[in-house]
Amino acid sequence: MKKPELHDAINKAGRRDFDVSYSEDLVKDEESYIKHTRWGVGLDHNLTVIHGEPEDKPKWEDVKKAMDELEAEYASFEFQRNRKPEYPKIEDQLDLLYHKGVEGWKEEIQKVKDKYPKPEASSE
C-alpha cells in the first residue's frame, strides 16, 4: 500500500472522475484546500483541461475524514513495510530452503516477523 495522497482522499470522498492539481505540502486545512486546488471541469477542442469549480466538489470535511481513514489504514501496515527490506532476497531464501529445509527457512523468516510483529486486531 502506498502512502495516501490528497487525490486518494478526494477519490474516497466520492469524486472519482476529477482532474485536480494541487501542492501536497500546501493543502493542510479547508482554507488551503480551497485556495490551492484547481479543478478540471472539461476539455477544450485541443484536449486541454478547462479549469473551474465543479458543482459536486467534495467538502473539506469529507476529504479530511477520508484522508484520516486512509492514513490510519496505511499506518496499520507499517509492520509489513518494515519487514520487507529485512527479508532475505528470494535467491537467498531458495538457497536456505535447499540447505536447511523448510524448517530452517521458517526460522530465518520468523526472526524478521518477531522483530516487526503484526499488531493485534482492535476490537472496535
6: cell is 490528497
Residues 6+ apart with CB under 8 A from 70: 4, 8, 9, 12
Is there a contact between 62 and 13 (Cβ–Cβ < 8 Å)? yes
Is there a contact between 38 and 51 (Cβ–Cβ < 8 Å)? yes
**Segment 73-107, tens digit of pLDDT:** 999 999 999 999 999 999 999 999 999 999 999 99
61: cell is 470535511
pTM: 0.72
Q: How many CB atoms lie within 10 A of CB 51?
A: 13
**Segment 18-65, tens digit of pLDDT:** 677 777 777 888 988 888 888 888 889 999 988 888 888 889 999 999
Domain boundaries, the chain: 6-75, 79-115
Of 50, 75, 63, nearest in space to 9 by CA:
63
